[in-house]
Amino acid sequence: MVPTPMNEYRPGIKAIQELKVISPLAEAGLTKQEIRKLAQKVNLSLWSKPSMSCLLTRIPHETEITDKILRMIEKAEEVLFNFGYPGTRVRIHGSIARIECLPGFINKIATDPNRDEIVDKIKQAGFTIVTLDLEGYRSGNMDRLL
């Protein structure tokens, strides 16, 4: 079984436990940092890839999960990544996309010369309103709504 921090909602871990997915590195007690160091040591190109949490963490609790919702989030985050905003999350609230990014990206996104194109592409993913959360990215942010 994969350990989870106390009081942290981890739907991806819950799903892999329900599906009985084997996670040998986690079961061996390796941390994310240790795995990155080992991957770098053996020249795996993904050693420095930003971590990507389960898409379910972008959705308010008690929301019915659909493939459409997951694809909307995935496409919107891909847009932001392609415009140079790695690690940016799109939280969904009905048809509203709430962008959470690293603090250094807040002003950059707000003043990006491509901002209109970014907004248009996120709307093409299925959102009607696109907002920028001025608090920036916060892990477990949707848990605060509980």
* Distance in angstroms (rounded) separating the CA atoms of residues 15 and 25: 17
Q: What pLDDT digit, counting tens, does each position of 82-92 carry?
A: 999 988 999 99
On whether the CB atoms of residues 58 and 97 are closer than 8 A, the answer is no
| This prediction's pTM | 0.74
Which residues, in sequence order, are CB contacts of 11 under 8 Å at separation 6+?
A: 54, 56, 57
> Measured between alpha carbons, how far is residue 20 from residues 52, 53, 73 in Å?
21, 19, 26
Q: What pLDDT digit, counting tens, does each position of 125-137 carry?
A: 999 999 999 999 8
Tokens of 75: 């496409």
Tokens of 74: 């995935």
**55 phi and psi, to 5 degrees?**
-60, -25
The CATH code of domain 55-145 reads 3.30.70
* Distance in angstroms (rounded) separating the CA atoms of residues 105 and 88: 9
3-state secondary structure of 88: coil
3-state secondary structure of 51: coil
The pLDDT assigned to 6 comes to 47
Domain residue extents for the chain: 11-48, 55-145
Which of 2-6, 117-121, 126-130 bottoms out in mean pLDDT, i.e. has the lowest? 2-6
Q: Which uninterrupted H or E stretch holds 130?
A: strand 129-132
Output the CA angle 137-103-115, nearest 5 degrees. Answer: 90
